[in-house]
Structure 1
Amino acid sequence: MKRPFKALLRGLVGLALLGAVVALADPSRVWGQLRQAQPVWLLAGLLAGIASNLVSALRWRALARWLGANASAHDACRWYFQAIGLNALLPGAVVGGDVYRAVVLRGTGQDTAASSWSVVLDRLSGLWMLCAIGGLGAAACADVLAPWLRLPRGLFIALMFVGTLLWLALPWCLPALLRSRRFAGGWLAPLREAATRPDFLRQLVWQAGASAAVQLLSAAALAGGGLALGVALPASVWAWAIA
């Protein structure tokens, strides 16, 4: 089967699945909501959502290359969006898409351990930054959370900031941990080799920046969708949504 025909077939299947989702969601109601939406905010939310996933795909590619599993930017973005589709359709939530990314990267001839670790660390990178932003979001909501925990507001904010800084510094322990000989071979070998290279700090900064951008763009997509439908939420709710 020729590649253009395959691409056309996949596009048609994607449109058919989208049509099935719309049909199950009551088309008249969906259309009624879209007619009431403000196009500018709806488009802004859509673009922010796409940008969030593009940054996620490039973050995964950078991590995979750092571990020794090479992939082009085009392929990484294509596989990432395919994985998102699998996540939406399969009952395993993010697990199905993550397994797909590891398998398809391995299928190009890359090392199995490096391909698998790229996906695992990509998820951990996102969770790492999400927790850090959550700590800052909790500090921003100190007026609500501090009384609930029966702590002075100033002490609560200080604890959140110190905890966030310690959490962000946690990956710096990885090289020292992996220098042990017990991690010299097996599945941890690609991780050990990458973590002990001189570019570890640069890669860590890139992961932190990309993960922060993903969370901010995701929040912007949520805000755009809310504003398009005329939903006005207080700042505390947006802080919770980011976290």
Structure 2
Amino acid sequence: MFFLFIITTLLAIFDTSQWPGTFFGITMVTIVIFNAAAAVYQSGMYTLLAKLPPSYIQCYLVGQGFGGTFVAISAIISIAIAGTHRSAAVGYFTTAVVVLFVCVVSYCLLYKMSVVKYHLGIARGNEAADEINKAASGMMDSSALRQCCTTCTNLAQIFWDIKMQFFNIWMTFFVTLSLFPVVLVEIPSSNDHQSDFLDLYFVPLVCFFTYNFGDFLGSLVPAIPRLRWLTMFA
């Protein structure tokens, strides 16, 4: 993803008006790869967080909401500083490259933290691996080997037990992604007087910033004990 963001930044710098078909194809391919990689990364992070205390999961959700707000603010700042769409795109994607590099470094350092090692049970995992290796070399009987191997969990039963929560999450994402950003970006300003502010900042501010900031507040409120009662009205 890091190199793809660099390619996207370079495409924003060069004039691609002479080969729009190729530019469109490269853009579509990179978008597909970006979204697939983001889905894998988020799923992996949730798998990691499932082994940590609930407070860490809440912090991750708050950080995820703040990430969307940061992206929206970066887009607005890029437009304000650059003045043109091409310069704004270059600044925006350059910021994405820097942030992605920081994420890669922080992810590598994550597994070196003692608290993560403790909850992941790295030591216990190494001991189990040693036992399995002993069994493979004939130093352990079959009954002990069966105790070391974990049993497969019935995923269908798990989905059935959380069917209501699963449906709520699915419905929330279905309605949200059906409206944002395809429908929201088409909403024009009710102000009849056109201005540079409305032309440049209306969609980034009203559509993207409002949505992401609301997502950030929605994930932040449950983390504050005194404000958790507000979730009853959500």
TM-score computed with the length of structure 1 as normaliser:
0.30
TM-score computed with the length of structure 2 as normaliser:
0.30
Larger radius of gyration: 2
